[in-house]
Amino acid sequence: MRYKIKMEKPFIKRMDNLGKLFHLSNADTADARETIIDAIANLADGKELPEGYNDRILEKEPWIGYHEFHVFSDLLVVYYKVDRKNRIRMITITDHEELTIGKLPD
């Protein structure tokens, strides 16, 4: 099953500014981008992410039903999967602290 990927504005903004927002080196920024792009390709193809991504469905408000996976230990990608429409919405890139607060970053 093939999924259509929609990238929300916060996701695009954070993807464009990964290094600055998360204090990453140039090498880590490039690695994070490559990892995220590869993960999106797998999700679009309907594949499960490799175990190292720790992909899981979130269970606490306000994120109930959203998915998140790890790029690095404290760099997370949040997405929402709508199986009946074959669509995945890439919501944001965040860290554990922001995720715990529960507010979508701008």
pLDDT, tens digit, for every residue of 56-70? Answer: 999 998 899 999 999
On whether the pTM is more than 0.85, the answer is yes
pLDDT, tens digit, for every residue of 43-53? Answer: 999 999 999 99
Confidence (pLDDT) at 94:
95
Residue-range domain boundaries for the chain: 4-101
Domain formed by 4-101, architecture:
2-Layer Sandwich (3.30)
Confidence (pLDDT) at 41:
97
User: Smallest Cα–Cα separation from 33: which of 15, 45, 51?
Assistant: 15
The chain-wide mean pLDDT, for the chain, equals 94
Q: In what order do the strands lie in the sheet with 75-82?
A: 4-7, 87-94, 75-82, 67-72, 56-57
Q: How many CB atoms lie within 10 A of CB 2?
A: 8
